[in-house]
Structure 1
Amino acid sequence: MPAFHHISLLTKDRQENLHFYTELLGLRFVKNTVNQENHRMLHYYYGDYQGAPGSVVTFFILPHLGHRYDHENFIATIGLKIPKNSLPYWQGRLEDYHVAYEKNERTLYFKDQDQVAICLTETDFAPLEPSHQVKNTIPGDKQILGLQSTQLHVAEPEKTRDFFERFLGWQTLDQRIWLNTTDFLEILPTETSEASRMGRGSADHIAFAVTDEAELDRLYQKAQTQGWHIEKMISRGCFKSLYIREPGGNRLEFATLTPGFTIDEPLETLGESFALPPFLADQRGEIERNLYPEYRKA
Structure 2
Amino acid sequence: MIRGHHHISMFTKDLKENNHFYTAVLGLRRVKVSVNQGDTGMYHVFYGDRTGSAGNDLTFFEIPNIGATRKGTDSISGIALLVPSHDSLLYWQERLDRLEVKNEGIGHYAGRDSLVFRDREGLKLILINHEGDLVPDEWSPWGGNDVEAEHRILGMGTVEMTVEDKESLVSLLEDLFGYKKAGENDETAVMQSVEGEVFGEILIRQSRADKERPGKGSVHHLAIHSADRPLEEWDRLLKEKGYRTTGVKDRYYFESLYFREDNGVMFEIVGPKARGFTADSSVGDLGDHLDLPPFLEPERGEIEAKLRPIEEWT
User: Is TM > 0.5 for Structure 1 vs Structure 2?
Assistant: yes
Go from structure 1 to structure 2 and tell me whether the alpha carbon gap of 1:203 and 1:66 turns closer, same or farther (over 3 Å shift).
Answer: same
Which of 207, 213, 225 aligns to 1:190? It is 207
1:229 deviation in Å? 2.4
Secondary structure at the residue paired with 2:253?
coil
Equivalent residue number for residue 224 of structure 2: 208
Equivalent residue number for residue 176 of structure 1: 190
Write the distance in 1 (CA, Å) between the matches of 2:171 and 2:153.
32
1:140 deviation in Å? 2.4
Per the normalisation by structure 1, the TM-score is 0.91
Instruction: Give the AA of the match of 2:205.
Output: L
Write the distance in 2 (CA, Å) between the matches of 1:80 and 1:157.
23
1:80 deviation in Å? 0.5
Aligned-CA RMSD value: 2.3
| Segment of structure 1 superposing worse, 5-14 or 130-139 | 130-139
| Segment of structure 1 superposing worse, 223-232 or 88-97 | 223-232
> Does structure 1 retain, via aligned residues, the 8 Å contact 2:139–2:155?
no
Equivalent residue number for residue 283 of structure 2: 267
Equivalent residue number for residue 66 of structure 2: 65
Per the normalisation by structure 2, the TM-score is 0.87
Write the distance in 1 (CA, Å) between the matches of 2:39 and 2:258.
17
Spell out, residue by residue over 1:218-251, the C-alpha distance to the aligned partner (whole angstroms, 9 max, x if none).
2222112222221332011111111111111010
> Does structure 1 retain, via aligned residues, the 8 Å contact 2:82–2:154?
yes
> Does structure 2 retain, via aligned residues, the 8 Å contact 1:241–1:253?
yes
Secondary structure at the residue paired with 1:15?
helix
Instruction: Give the AA of the match of 2:90.
Output: P
Write the distance in 1 (CA, Å) between the matches of 2:168 and 2:133.
37
> Does structure 2 retain, via aligned residues, the 8 Å contact 1:231–1:243?
yes
1:53 deviation in Å? 0.4
Equivalent residue number for residue 165 of structure 1: 174
Which of 69, 87, 90 aligns to 1:88? It is 90
Go from structure 1 to structure 2 and tell me whether the alpha carbon gap of 1:294 and 1:191 turns closer, same or farther (over 3 Å shift).
Answer: farther
Equivalent residue number for residue 217 of structure 1: 232
Write the distance in 2 (CA, Å) between the matches of 1:158 and 1:71.
18
Write the distance in 2 (CA, Å) between the matches of 1:117 and 1:199.
13
Write the distance in 2 (CA, Å) between the matches of 1:39 and 1:278.
14
> Does structure 2 retain, via aligned residues, the 8 Å contact 1:75–1:250?
yes
> Does structure 1 retain, via aligned residues, the 8 Å contact 2:10–2:59?
yes
1:117 aligns with 2:134: no
Instruction: Give the AA of the match of 1:217.
Output: E
Instruction: Give the AA of the match of 1:60.
Output: F
Which of 104, 107, 129 aligns to 2:107? It is 104
Which of 132, 139, 155 aligns to 2:140? It is 132
Write the distance in 2 (CA, Å) between the matches of 1:153 and 1:221.
27
Write the distance in 2 (CA, Å) between the matches of 1:220 and 1:20.
37
1:130 deviation in Å? 10
> Does structure 2 retain, via aligned residues, the 8 Å contact 1:51–1:261?
yes
> Does structure 2 retain, via aligned residues, the 8 Å contact 1:72–1:190?
yes
1:234 aligns with 2:249: yes
Which structure 1 residue ranges, 5 or more long, are not aligned?
none
Write the distance in 1 (CA, Å) between the matches of 2:52 and 2:24.
16
Which structure 2 residue ranges, 5 or more long, are not aligned?
none
Go from structure 1 to structure 2 and tell me whether the alpha carbon gap of 1:206 and 1:125 turns closer, same or farther (over 3 Å shift).
Answer: same
| Segment of structure 1 superposing worse, 105-114 or 18-27 | 105-114
Go from structure 1 to structure 2 and tell me whether the alpha carbon gap of 1:169 and 1:146 turns closer, same or farther (over 3 Å shift).
Answer: same
Which of 272, 276, 279 aligns to 2:292? It is 276
1:70 deviation in Å? 2.8
Go from structure 1 to structure 2 and tell me whether the alpha carbon gap of 1:2 and 1:267 turns closer, same or farther (over 3 Å shift).
Answer: farther
Spell out, residue by residue over 1:2-44, the C-alpha distance to the aligned partner (whole angstroms, 9 max, x if none).
5111110001011111111001111000011111111111111
How many pairs were matched up?
A: 295
1:162 deviation in Å? 1.8
1:100 deviation in Å? 1.8
Write the distance in 2 (CA, Å) between the matches of 1:269 and 1:186.
36
